[in-house]
Amino acid sequence: MSVIEVKELSKTYKNGVEALKGISFNVEKGSIFAILGPNGAGKTTTLKSVLGAIKPTTGEVLTVGKNPFPNGVKEISFVPEEKSLYEWVRISEMVKIFGSFAPNFSLKKFGILSKRLNLTMKRKIGELSQGNRTKLYVALAFAQDVKLYLLDEPTWGLDPVIRKEVLDIVKENAVDGKTVVYSSHILSEVEEVCDQLIILKEGKILYNGSLDKLKESNKLDLSKAFLKMVKGEEK
Amino acid sequence: MKSYKEIKAIQMRTVIMLAILAGLAIVVVMLRNTIVSTLSSSQIQESLKNSPMGKGLASEMSRIIKDFSYYSYSQWFGKTYMQMAALIAVVLSFPLFSKEREKQTIYLLIGRMTRWEIYSSKVLTGYIASLITIFGGGIAYLLAAAIMGYSLPSSMAFAWMFRAMVGTLLLYQIGAYTSLLFKSQVKPFLLDIAIYVGLGVTPLFKQTKFLDLFGYMGGKEVLKNPTVGIVPTIVVLSVCAVIFTLGYLQFRRMDIC
């Protein structure tokens, strides 16, 4: 069963930038799906289209069986690339605010996650480092009991120990039947968690399939296969 | 409660604006004696007699001295109160959407709330905050006047307060709309100021006199007949409703990026 269905999706922004050029892919329930590509490839535009933040120019997106634009689908939890939170509150107040509008938010689950990620609750958001903001955002997002998690660079600024913890949380959710869509520049961690992936470049899909197949057909690890594919396209 | 975040975001600004407005109300009431004694001095009276502006100015000053209702109109409800109402509208409205987009905190809300939930919780919370602030400022003036022993007919004061509240809703709604149009906070702020200045000069021209929102809010006619002005009130609220709807349609179809 597909949790995400993307058909011939194109997006041209008002400034004329063609971010996506007719991409199609499906994401199956319970999988960890990676979206890879160099800067400007269209990864964030793809995630925002699935979220319902932007309207496709042409094509169709179905997220958990529904058109996500403009109202979104409440079975999604999104972690954006910029981990921006409300600077004027303390972490405990941020959690209260988030819980007031986020569907299926569990304070108990947040407590468990914040312990695992070693979060200190007393501090003000404005005083947090990039790494601590990422930890808080990830804890908030996974404290929502939803069908689909969309993660854009979810380990940005984290130390190796916490990064490993985040990857474990991602894997545990997939085991529980949740779907995770994951975009990252760190190929080693993508390789560790994902089963399916697409590689994007300049708004087009270069590869769509399983990680094992990609590695097998290229007889290389993901980093080398990715570089070969992206650079090979340039030639 | 979906609007909890909006209440938290707006509460500090509301409290500060209410405190400033109440403080100004008290100052204006307290200055009455000083203004009256200054205007009554023989030197000022002599200057008024010789003033090229002649009788008009002299009779205006004489009304300020004799009539507290006129003083309240000329120094508070038709002046400072109304100017503060415009300031309150802009302060409460300009960051509404622009700040969330500029700081990218909008992604906390998108997907977790529908566009209608986001839009209505933001705009309606600001409506309530504006109304509370304007009402509070008016009440502060009435209380200060009562404590100082001045008599101002409450029907007159409530008519001015009602008009100011309705006018502020429109100014706030204009601000909420301009906040939607930009990703940075400075641009909607400047555009709001430009619109308010534009509204301020409309009574100078015959063709645009009907757009005199500040004339309605200040309500000089309330001195003769303490009425809220049903027709202009309906017009102002209708325009407000139209801009509210247009704002929602704009927000509904806009890309959040």
List CB contacts (< 8 A) between A100 and chain B: 1-2, 4-5
| Cβ proximity of B135 and B161 under 8 Å | yes
- Nearest residue on chain A to B251, alpha-carbon basis: A70
The model carries a pTM of: 0.91
The span from the CA of A2 to the CA of A109, in Å, is 27
Q: Domain map of chain B by residue range?
A: 2-253
Query: What string of pLDDT tens digits covers the 235 residues of chain A?
Result: 899 999 999 999 999 999 999 999 999 999 999 999 999 999 999 999 999 999 999 999 999 999 999 999 989 999 999 999 999 899 999 999 999 999 999 999 999 999 999 988 888 999 999 999 999 999 999 999 999 999 999 998 899 999 999 999 999 988 889 999 999 888 888 888 999 999 999 999 999 999 888 877 776 777 777 887 777 754 4
Q: Shortest CB distance from B104 goes to which of A84, A89, A100?
A: A84
Q: Which two tokens stand for residue B127?
A: 């409506």
What angle is formed at CA B156 by the lines to CA B152 and CA B160, rounded to 5 degrees?
Answer: 115
The ipTM value here is 0.92
Contact indicator for B170, B88 with CB cutoff of 8 Å: no
Cβ(A28)–Cβ(A81) below 8 Å: no
DSSP for B135-175 reads HHHHHHHHHHHHHTT----HHHHHHHHHHHHHHHHHHHHHH
B104 to chain A, closest Cα gap in Å:
6
| Integer Cα distance of B189 and A48 in angstroms | 28
- Residues of B whose CB is below 8 A from A89: 8
In chain B, the residue whose alpha carbon lies closest to the alpha carbon of A97 is B5
Closest Cα in chain A, distance from residue B40 (Å): 51
- Residue B144: which residues within 8 A CB-CB, separation 6 or more? B25, B26, B29, B30
Which residue in the set B4, B112, B257 is minimally distant from A54, CB to CB? B257
- For A67, the closest chain B residue by CA position comes to B111
Determine the distance in angstroms separating the CA of A172 from the nearest CA of chain B, rounded to an integer. Answer: 23
Tens-digit pLDDT string for chain B (257 aa):
788 999 999 999 999 999 999 999 999 999 998 888 887 777 777 777 777 666 667 677 777 777 899 999 999 999 999 999 999 999 999 999 999 999 999 999 999 999 999 999 999 999 999 999 999 999 999 999 999 999 899 999 999 999 999 999 999 999 999 999 999 999 999 999 999 999 999 988 888 888 899 999 998 899 888 889 999 999 999 999 999 999 999 999 999 98
Instruction: Write out chain B residues lying below 8 Å of A96, CB-based.
Output: 4
B237 CA to chain A: closest CA distance, Å? 28
Q: Say yes or no for a CB contact (<8 Å) between A97 and B4.
A: yes
For B128-147, how does the pLDDT look when each residue is reduced to its tens digit (9 = 90+)?
999 999 999 999 999 999 99
